[in-house]
Amino acid sequence: MDAISYERAGDIAGAVRAVQQPGAVFIGGGTNLLDLMKGGVTRPVRLIDITHIRGLDTITTLPDGGIRIGALVRNSDAANHALVREQYPLLSQAFLAGASAQLRNMATVGGNLLQRTRCGYFYDTAFTQCNKRTPGSGCAALDGHNRTHAILGASAQCIAVNPSDMSVALAALDAVVRVSGPAGERTIAFADFHRLPGDRPELDTTLQPGELITAVDLPPALFSARSHYLKVRDRASYAFALVSVAAALQMDGERVKTARIALGGVAHKPWRASAAEQMLDGRPLTQATLRDAAAAALRDARPQHDNRFKVQLAQRAIVRAVNQAAGRAGGVA
Ligand code: SF4
């Protein structure tokens, strides 16, 4: 059994200092970290408990009309907060699509940003080939079971997907991640927070050593009237997405003024479907245009041997989610 020491941080500066000790990691809700520790995937020697730091568990309005969600806000509290429900229903839906009620009650917003892939080979240490767990060891998923793996943005080193629902909505909403670290505070645009695997699949994010996520900022709500989070999965609850779509629209009559589309379950990071957005912006929302946009979103897809179905599934999910966002509940999919 590994010996693990525990330390409770009283403030952000203390937490940042403490985590610079060898083998130290932050623990918040612990819903992913404890699984990783029990399976021997992660072996920290020091846990820095950040849950008692004051001021990180609130949701507040910002001077520009946006909102700030503290990193320690529990997923269920964020999903049910009036500001989130009324102004960012896309985000509320995404929270509620994730995990189970019990896990949402424990998991924090900051922890959700950092949850690791659910690739089975990553979690099962009996498989020695996993570049994400052991850099340079190979990737068992390439020739193994890869039905749930990436179809966009993968590399020969890793084909894992990011499992977060919340992050797909945050990508569509152009959130900003606030962090504090040894070099001070900084903000990270959401598109730059999670990484593609490239040749460093062990790195999920662009966080620097010792940096603590303190909050997520959302810009003023533009899409509260028209948005939809669609999650396609193997069972109705407590399952990760095969494909998910966060769709948000601003309409000018029948014409799309602005479209935001992000995909989950398809890549190592929440995947912003920029090509599809560009095809919709400024055009009447016809089913033909929407299908063309969905096809453009998947144009660069490179499926694995078990997950070719995901390409068409993602296209159909985009069509359905955008139709739902536009208030066309029976939209073609
Ligand atoms: Fe590991 Fe990534 Fe390959 Fe899964 S896909 S076995 S996480 S390297």
Cα–Cα distance, 52 to 302 (Å, whole number) = 44
pLDDT at 331: 53
Per-residue CA distances from 37 to 41, 137, 205, 225 (Å):
6, 20, 20, 42
Residue of 147, 157, 158 best suited for mutating to test ligand 1, as the one with most atoms within 8 Å of CB: 158
pLDDT at 69: 98
Ligand 1 in reach of 131 Cβ (< 6 A): yes
pLDDT tens profile 171-188: 999 999 999 999 999 999
Share above pLDDT 70 across residues of the chain, in percent, rounded to a whole number: 98
pLDDT band at 2 (very low <50, low <70, confident <90, very high): confident
Per-residue CA distances from 217 to 86, 190, 192, 249 (Å):
16, 10, 14, 20
Share above pLDDT 90 across residues of the chain, in percent, rounded to a whole number: 97
For residue 139, which atom of ligand 1 is closest to its CA? 3
Closest protein CA for atom 1 of ligand 1: 130
Residue of 115, 117, 155 best suited for mutating to test ligand 1, as the one with most atoms within 8 Å of CB: 117
pLDDT band at 333 (very low <50, low <70, confident <90, very high): very low
pLDDT tens profile 89-122: 999 999 999 999 999 999 999 999 999 999 999 9
For the chain, give the number of residues: 333
For the domain made up of 227-327, the CATH class stated in words is alpha beta
Q: Tell me the CA–centroid distance for residue 191 and ligand 1, in Å.
A: 22
pLDDT tens profile 38-49: 999 999 999 999
pLDDT at 62: 98
pLDDT at 84: 98
Per-residue CA distances from 184 to 51, 212, 217 (Å):
20, 10, 18
Cα–Cα distance, 280 to 292 (Å, whole number) = 9
Q: Average pLDDT, stretch 185-209?
A: 98
* Average pLDDT across the chain, whole number: 97
Q: Is this model's pTM higher than 0.85 or not?
A: yes
Q: Tell me the CA–centroid distance for residue 225 and ligand 1, in Å.
A: 39
- Is the pLDDT reported for residue 301 higher than 50? yes
| Beta carbons within 8 Å of 112's beta carbon, 6+ residues apart | 75, 98, 164, 166, 167
pLDDT tens profile 116-140: 999 999 999 999 999 999 999 999 9
